[in-house]
Each structure stands twice: as C-alpha cells, then as structure tokens.
Amino acid sequence: MAEILACLASALAGGDVEIIDLTHTLDPDFPVIVLPPEFGQCARFRMEEVSAYDHRGPAWKWHNISMNEHTGTHFDAPVHWVSGRDVANGAVDEIDPAMFIGPVVVLDCSKGASSDDDFELTPKIIADWEVQHGKIPAGSWVLMRTDWSRRTGAQYLNMRDDGPHSPGPTPAAIECLLERNIRGFGTETVGTDAGQGMHYSPPYPAHHLLHGAGKYGLQCLKNLDRLPPTGAILVAPPLKIKGGTGSPLRVLAITPARGK
Amino acid sequence: MSEPLSRPPKKNPQLRQKVATLPPLARSRAAMGLTAAAARGSFSLQHCSECATVQYPPRDACSACLCVDLEWRETDRGGSVVAQTTIHASPDPYYRQRLPWRSGLVKLDAGPSIFCHLHGDVRRGDRISMDIKLDRAGQGVMIALPAGRMPNMEDDPQLRTLTANPRHRRVLVTDIRAPWAVPLVHELIKAGASHVFVGEAEGWRRATPHESLASLEQVSILQLDVTDANSVKKLAAGIGGKTDILINTARHVRPGGVVGGDTVFARDEMEVNAFGLMRLAQAFGPAMASRTDDGINSAAAFVNILSASAMSAEPGYGAFSASQAAAYSISQTLRGEFRASGLRVMNVFVGPTDDEWHQQMPPPKVAPQALAKAVVDGLVCGLEDVYCGDFAKDIEERWRRDAKVLERELTGGEHG
C-alpha cells in the first residue's frame, strides 16, 4: 500500500492531483445563523491584537480569537442536535479520525437554486444523479452544490420578514441519503438545512435526521463548482475540542487536476 | 441680536491646527458645588440654614452669620445687570484667543451680586436669567442670558464655548438598530447638524431603518460594529478627523438576573455596552480631543446613553445593570482623560425604555422620541449628566439622598 501514497505524493508534486480549498476566510463580517433574539446567538468571529512587535511584545505579533463552534465554514458533530445527544462518540474529540478523510460526491443543484431561492434537494434529484453516476457509495460525503457561496452581504442569508430563504434538502432526500449510509452532508449555505427548514416535518430535517443517525454536517463551503461529481477525496478534520458540538475548520478536496 | 453662525468654510490645510487651551481650572471644594449644579443643568446656590442668606461665591461658612450648615438649593435665576465691561487684553492664553470678552456685574433677585460672563444680547440695566454652565475646563461658571428667547441666541460665541450645540457640527450615531437612532438623527438635523454619520453593524442582515435614513441628504450610513476593534478603527480612520460629536447609541440588553442568568448574554452586554464604549473612545477619542478648538465645527462631546441601573442595580436586569455600571465607570475615566482637551463626556441616564426588551415593565417608560430629544437638549444646554424621564430623575434623586436606602429599595423583592 505504500506505493499508493508514493503515487499520490508524486501526483501532487507533478500537478496531476490538485488541492482545492472549500473554506471561506474567517472574517468578523462573515454571516452567521441568526436565531430569534430571545435565544442565545452564534458568536461572530472576533480577533483582538495581543501584541504587534510593540511594547506589548517587541518581536512578535499575535491575536486572541473568539467565535462559536458553528462560525464560518464549520463541521457539525452528532451531539450538535438533540436527536444526536446520545450518539456514541458524537462529539468532535471522540469521532474516529478515519471519518475526517473520505470520498465525496457532489450533487449539482446550481441551476435550480439560481432561479429558486427555496430550491429543494429531493429524492428524484438523487435518483437522477445515480442514473448518470451510479449509486452513491456508502461512507461518502455528499455535498449539495448551489453556487450560493458566491452571494455576499444581505443576499447570503437572504432574510425576509418570514425568515431566511436558501436552498436545502427535504426530509425525504435526507432519508434517501441515510439509506445509502453516507458519512455526512454538506452545503454552501449557512446551515445544512434550507432557510425555511423549520417548516418541514421534522423541522430542520438535515440536522434532525443526520445527527440522529450519527452522521456529520459541513456548511458554508465554497468552490464546489471545482469538484467532479465523483472521484474526489475530502479532508475535513475539526478541531479536537473536548465535548465540542462542531468546529470551524479548513476543508480541502483532493481531486484529479482538471484537463489531466 | 446674535449674529447667526454660518456654516464654516473648508479648512486651510496649510494652517497649524489650533491647540486646545483651558480657562482657569482651580476651584475650592466649596466652589465645586457650582460645577455639580451645572453638570445637570440646575441653578443652585448656597443657602444658609440659619439666616437664609443666599451666598455667592461659595464658601465654607455663611458670610452673614458664620453658620457652616449651607445647603445647595435651586434658586431664582432672575436679576439685573448693574455694570458691564469688555475685556480687550488678557494674560490668560484661553481668553487671549477669544478676545474681546464681555463680563459684567449682576444683582440677583435672590440677593448676591455676581461677576459673570455676559451673553451678547445682554446690556447694562437689562433683566437677565442667570445660568451656571460648564466651561471648557469642566468647571461651573456664571453666564447672564437674556430674560426671554432672542433670535439665534445659542450662536453667541461666549455661550457656544459653554455648550456642545450640534448646529453646524458633524455627528456620529454609532448604532442604527437602537430604537432611538432614527428619532435622534431627525432631532440632530432639526438642531442644525451639518451631517450625521450612522453606524450599521452586520450589513449582511440589513437594519430595518436603513432605507429611510439612507434617503436623507445629510445622512451617511457607514459600517460600524462596536464589538469589533478593527471595524471601529477602520471607521475612525475614515471620519475620526471630522467627527465633532459622537453619540454612542449601541446597547445590548436582555432581561434576567445573575443567579438564573446567562453569562453568554452577560458577555454580549459587556462587549457592546462596556468594551464597545472603550473601543470607540480609543479609536475616536484622540482625534476628537485634538480638535476641541477647531472653530465653529470643533469637536465638542462624546455622549453615552446609560441605563439608570448604572447608579444602582435593577435585579430584574442584573447582568445588564453590571454592564451599565461598567460603562458609567469607563465614562468617568474618559472625563479624566479628556479633561485637558476640553472634550465633554455627556451621560444620558434613562429608565426603562419603551422597546421590545421592556415589554412587561409597567409605565412610565421612555419613548425613543423623548430620549432623542433629551440627548439633543443636553448638547444644546451643555450638560454633562442628563436624566431623561421620571424614572431616571427619581433614581438620581434617591441615589443622591442615600445610595444605601435606594439599593435596599431596589433589592426589596416583591415590594421593592
């Protein structure tokens, strides 16, 4: 098996395999999920200078940073949701590290999402995808591409008087993915669920069903348009936070270089 | 009649900025009573409890009967100008920059004769209304004002140095989401502010009043989040040199005490209410303090809106009260730090406000419009402490009478 790694190393060095960064920059002004104001809120990313080659530390610069576990591009562990509270090894520090690197498939919903802010991922879309690319392999990350990550400012949460409007999966779609025993589900939006996901039964089906089944979530991803439908490997290790329900992280994809 | 101030021309960038000077600073402890009265807009003088003499200047004992029991009491402002003079030469740097300067002797109806500043509309023999105002050094001084309203009387140059009038000044209102932000912007424009900058945090979830304010010609909405040091620094780098009055409207409030409370909410309250104030002062303070003598649109005031619970905790809002006490304390340090520049720190104390976080509180509650008006009135009058609404006035009075009694009453449980 050592040849596989040697082969990968030379493919990386030779440019036959490329690394794609699926991560947004941690920026104080990047949107986070907004709950009704009487609930506790997701802390925004903040950075405070401790010293900058000055009287507070003459030869070095460093910052204190603060945020929520679910700020920016982040990983959701099963214990994040009430349905996953009793899942064994359901916190980020307990998850088998083998789960952090694995195959990824991409369901392209960008066309539908471009004309419908509330576009739904349905079992039919999954079935049609499988006709073309074969059955989603067990243990895969499944990413829903919507090109939503290109939106900036108020367009990203797309908040209206009745709450946010952004695409996401229906409960049936998540059940369909669970039947395939996926590893986890990821999106370009602020959460794995649709903006209006509270109106499904169960509410927030991606969170409720995935985490209840011990699966993981990834959100606020970008550059999904640079991934092939199948054949890439996702590297997504969250920080090892004791009892953590999630973590900001760097998500990388290893893909065959385009045009090679 | 005072000459109406006209909008100042653009500055000549080749001229050295005028450096702030202060009028004479030293006062006896007894004379500080005038400063305390001026800070809250009261006209109080020493009244002898023995012989009822009203005394000026303040002393440690009654000048008529040597009694030491002297009470500062609200006094009739009426009087007549006995003599007037115009000073054309002074060895004092502050007055040298402002000559000629009018002074006079006024006989108050209440008794004492007072040598004081004279408003431009006041002449020998006129009936006047005496006022105590804080001067640039933050000390109480006497100024004789016309007995009735005169056209443009706030534009009198001597009076203007004693106030932080928004007229022709550029004002930063730090948070558009405060319930009083919109009425405050309108009050400022009505008072003649030449421009109002309004801070908006998190443009990615646009504030409701954004459109209505953005359509006003004198208003610019700029990105500002007081919980983010970089955001505050960035805005100060842009407009710090032309912010004449800063009004911190940012406020985070959640009901709840301490034992059953939540440190996440408490931290948010500290981040906005206490550290937010500190970040604003650090980023905007130095530039404002360097421009307190910059002509008609000189930097004049740094304004905080504080809950009356800053004076004594309201247990129903325990963590919020703590953040307000912290903000109050920071504002006192700022007074010390801005003293040499003459930049005024004005605190506006308010009781429960009529907003979404005080829904269950019974009236009286302060309407956003009333708070906005109190802020602008305070600036026009040159106050340092404004108590807006009956609730805040009542708390202040009880706090001054006996802070311990107030604390016991506020923490009394059911019947508190």
Write down the pLDDT at residue B213.
Answer: 95
Cβ of B204 and A44 within 8 Å? no
In A, minimum Cα distance to B254 occurs at: A38
Minimum-distance CB partner of B228 among A28, A31, A41: A28
Q: Is-cis flag, bond preceding B13, omega within 30?
A: no
Write down the pLDDT at residue B11.
Answer: 87
Cβ of A44 and B262 within 8 Å? no
Residue A259 has pLDDT above 90, yes or no: no
Residue A193 has pLDDT above 50, yes or no: yes
Residue A87 has pLDDT above 50, yes or no: yes
Residue B385 and residue B395: Cα distance in Å, rounded?
13
- Residue located via tokens 């090892």: A240
- Residue located via tokens 């006047």: B128
Q: Which helix (H) or strand (E) holds B130?
A: strand B127-134
Minimum-distance CB partner of B264 among A40, A44, A49: A40
Average pLDDT over residues A104-120: 98
Query: B173 forms bridges with which residues in the sheet?
Result: B198, B247
Min Cα distance A246 → chain B (Å) is: 18
Min Cα distance A29 → chain B (Å) is: 6
Write down the pLDDT at residue B107.
Answer: 98
All residues of chain B having their beta carbon less than 8 Å from the beta carbon of residue A157 are 204-205
Cβ of B204 and A157 within 8 Å? yes
CB B388 within 8 A of CB B348: yes
Residue B113 and residue B105: Cα distance in Å, rounded?
7
Residue B223 and residue B239: Cα distance in Å, rounded?
12
Average pLDDT over residues A216-222: 98
Minimum-distance CB partner of B205 among A30, A40, A159: A159
Cβ of A41 and B268 within 8 Å? yes
Residue B193 vs residue A2, higher pLDDT: B193
Cβ of A154 and B206 within 8 Å? yes
Residue A91 and residue A48: Cα distance in Å, rounded?
28
ipTM of this predicted complex?
0.91
Min Cα distance A148 → chain B (Å) is: 14
Residue B186 and residue B207: Cα distance in Å, rounded?
17
Write down the pLDDT at residue B18.
Answer: 87
Residue A42 has pLDDT above 50, yes or no: yes
Residue A78 has pLDDT above 90, yes or no: yes
In B, minimum Cα distance to A42 occurs at: B264
All residues of chain A having their beta carbon less than 8 Å from the beta carbon of residue B206 are 154, 159
List chain B residues with pLDDT less than 70. Answer: 413-416
The reported pTM is: 0.94
Residue A260 has pLDDT above 70, yes or no: no
CB A73 within 8 A of CB A24: yes
All residues of chain B having their beta carbon less than 8 Å from the beta carbon of residue A31 are 202, 204-205
Min Cα distance B357 → chain A (Å) is: 9
Residue B303 and residue B280: Cα distance in Å, rounded?
11
Minimum-distance CB partner of A154 among B204, B225, B229: B204
Strands A101-108 and A232-235: antiparallel
Write down the pLDDT at residue B416.
Answer: 42
Min Cα distance B227 → chain A (Å) is: 8
pLDDT tens across A121-178, in order?
A: 999 999 999 999 999 999 999 999 999 999 999 999 999 999 999 999 999 999 999 9
Residue B327 vs residue A2, higher pLDDT: B327
Residue A115: CA count within 13 A, CB half-sphere: 2
Minimum-distance CB partner of B228 among A46, A49, A153: A46
Cβ of A34 and B206 within 8 Å? no
Taking the alpha carbons at both ends of chain B, their separation in whole angstroms is 52
Q: Where are the alpha helices (H) located in B258-306, listed in sequence order?
A: 263-269, 276-289
Residues of A marked active site are found at 80
Structure tokens at B299: 């930097």
DSSP, residue by residue, B191-219: TT-SEEEEEES-GGG--TTHHHHHTSTTE
Could you tell me what percent of chain B has a pLDDT over 90? 92
Q: Could you tell me where the beta strands, DSSP code E, fall in B26-97?
A: 44-48, 54-55, 70-74, 78-87
Residue B274 and residue B267: Cα distance in Å, rounded?
10
Residue B53 burial by Cβ neighbours in a 10 Å radius (0-12, 13-18, 19+)? middle
Q: Residue A84 gets which letter from DSSP?
A: G
Could you tell me what percent of chain A has a pLDDT over 70? 100
Does B72 contact A at CB distance below 8 Å? no
Cβ of A157 and B231 within 8 Å? no
Cβ of B265 and A40 within 8 Å? yes
Given CA atoms B214, B216, B220, B224 in this order, what sign does their dihedral have? negative
Tally C-beta pairs within 8 A across A and B.
41
Write down the pLDDT at residue B361.
Answer: 87
